[in-house]
Amino acid sequence: MAGVWLKLTLGALGVALIPALAQAAPASASPTSFLDALDARPTPYRTIFGALDAGRGACQIMAAGNVATAVASVTKAIDFVWYRTNVTTSRFHAIGIVNSAAHELCPDQLPKLYAHMHQP
């Protein structure tokens, strides 16, 4: 009898949590759309794997900050792509990689990118 009660309770709890989990899930990251965005700009990169690593690294750096520190975290991400990965040929293109990464690999970081772009 206790097993039936436990199954019903866990089942009801699972059903109740589904909407919360669906809302908490970030938009899906797409490596293909990230590379397509780089090619559409066009943003040159040395290798596909290097571009993906740079984009993912930029996302991790931006994720470490918050909107209040957006200017610093996005600037760190740009510097990471430009100086540390050697994946592209200029700082301008590093900005393009960070921009494309935020849009395609980590859309949850877009508020930070926008705060950086619209700083006073």
Give the whole-number percent of the chain exceeding pLDDT 90: 37
Highest mean pLDDT among 1-5, 14-18, 102-106: 102-106
DSSP secondary structure string, 74-119? HHHHHHIIIIIS--SSSHHHHHHHHHHHHHHT-GGGHHHHHHHHT-
- Which carries the bigger pLDDT value, residue 42 or residue 10? 42
Residue 24, pLDDT score: 36
Q: Is the pTM of this model over 0.85?
A: no
- pLDDT tens digits, residue range 83-98? 888 787 788 999 999 9
- Which carries the bigger pLDDT value, residue 9 or residue 55? 55
